Each structure stands twice: as C-alpha cells, then as structure tokens.
Amino acid sequence: MNLIGLKTLLAKEVLRFMKVYLQTLVAPVVTSFLFLIIFSHVFGERMSVYDGVSYTAFLIPGLIMMSMIQNAFANSSSSLIQSKVTGNLIFVLVTPLSNLEIFLAFVAASAIRGILVGAVVYAVALAFLPVAPDHPFYVIVMSVLSCAMLGALGLIAGMWAEKFDQMAGFTNFIIVPLSFLSGVFYSVHSLPDFWKAASHANPFFYMVDGFRYGFYGVSDVSPWLSIVVTLVSLALVSAWTLYLLRRGYKLRD
C-alpha cells in the first residue's frame, strides 16, 4: 500500500472541496435550513410520526442524512468529471497508485465532506430543537457507511458521464429522487402497500431509517437490518467501482 501517495491524493481531494466551502459546505446547510423551516412550520404542530417524537424532531435526522449522502456523491462525481473534462485526470492515472488506493482516497474524501456537512446541519438544527443521539453507535456507523457508499457510487457516475449535463441527469433522475423518497419527510408506514414496498427496495431508506434510530431509538425497520443493507450496498458498489477502475472504463480514452 502506497500510504504516502494515498494520503497525498486524499489531501488533494479534501483541499479541493474546502477551497470552495461556500458551495460545498455552506450551500447544503442553507438548503437543509430552508427545508426545516418550511416543513416544521407547516406540519410541526399538526403531525406526529412516533409517540413522543414531534414532527420537527423526526425531520432533523432525515435532513442530516439526506445532506450527507447527496454531498458525498457530489464530491467524488464532480471531482472525476471535472478532471475528465479539463484533461488533468492523466496526472492521477500516471501516479504510482493502485486502483484500490485511488478508490480509497476518493471515497474517504467524499465521506469527510458528507460528515462535515452533516455535522454543520446538525449544529444549525440545534437552534430549532436541542436533540441528542440516544444511540451514538448507530449514528456513527450509518454516517460512515452511507457516505462511503455514495462516494463509491459517485465514482461510477463520474466514470460513466462524459459531459456535465450527463452528470446532472444522473443526479437529478437517480440520486435526488431516491433521497427524497427515502422517508426523510414521512414514515413509510403511512404509505399505501405498493409505495411501502417500493420504499423498502430503496437502499437510501435504510440509511435514513437507521440513522434516525440512532437519535430516538424508534424506526420503521430493525436498525440492524439497516446496517446490513447499507453494508451490502457498499460492498456491491465498491466491487463494481474497482472493476471499472481496473478496466479503465472511460478513463483512458
């Protein structure tokens, strides 16, 4: 393992998103803040999903997780597509780094960005409602696994896309719908049977549900099932990403 090269590429990816922190860290927090204001104002006093948990409290973990997974995906996907379009990807490919080391650097940077965004969203949410995790283990595990999974998925999207509009299509037609339909704003138990089954087929649902369990100890499915599904999803996406990297899929043209 080329640890020096791995740390160098990781530092480069972290510095890349930190240099534009208004776009990568502040903007997602503003979006989550607006969601929190609007939904808590409209439904805060009129809806209760779980006994003893207000709708605003229910909403906060979902918004945190949605922000984390969307930004983890955006980090690796935007980095790769920008490098392809500008032509500087060659400077990564010619380095003495293995496919695994490149994968780990990009995924770790994505996880760092996702978790940083989640931490800032949580800090802002505390101004609305002082909530503390009842089960920090689940909060930490689901945060790391979910951000890593989306970071790996972002690499696949970045390799597949050849133009920025293709990347925008991947984000708008896959990532955003899956994250919005993952139970962030509602409990899937309130859905009709068809949509409930569809939600259970959405891996993002388990990320949100397991993360929410870490805060309140209540969830729509077993938290261990959420961990297993997220872990399996991470393993499958990682294996596919490493396969594409080994092939040099759309990277060496």
Interval 52-90: pLDDT, tens: 788 888 899 999 999 999 999 999 999 999 999 888 888
| The predicted structure's pLDDT at residue 130 | 85
Does residue 42 carry a pLDDT above 80?
no
Measure the CA–CA gap between 95 and 101, rounded to whole angstroms.
11
Does residue 221 carry a pLDDT above 70?
yes
Q: Strand, helix or coil at 143?
A: helix
Residue 214 — very low, low, confident or very high, per pLDDT cuts 50/70/90?
very high
Tell me the percentage of the chain whose pLDDT exceeds 90. 68
Query: Residue 64 in contact with residue 126, Cβ under 8 Å?
Result: no
Average pLDDT value over all residues in the chain: 91
Does residue 196 carry a pLDDT above 90?
no
Does residue 15 carry a pLDDT above 90?
yes
Does residue 14 carry a pLDDT above 90?
yes
Residue 48 — very low, low, confident or very high, per pLDDT cuts 50/70/90?
low
Angle at 147 between CA 97 and CA 205, to 5 degrees: 145
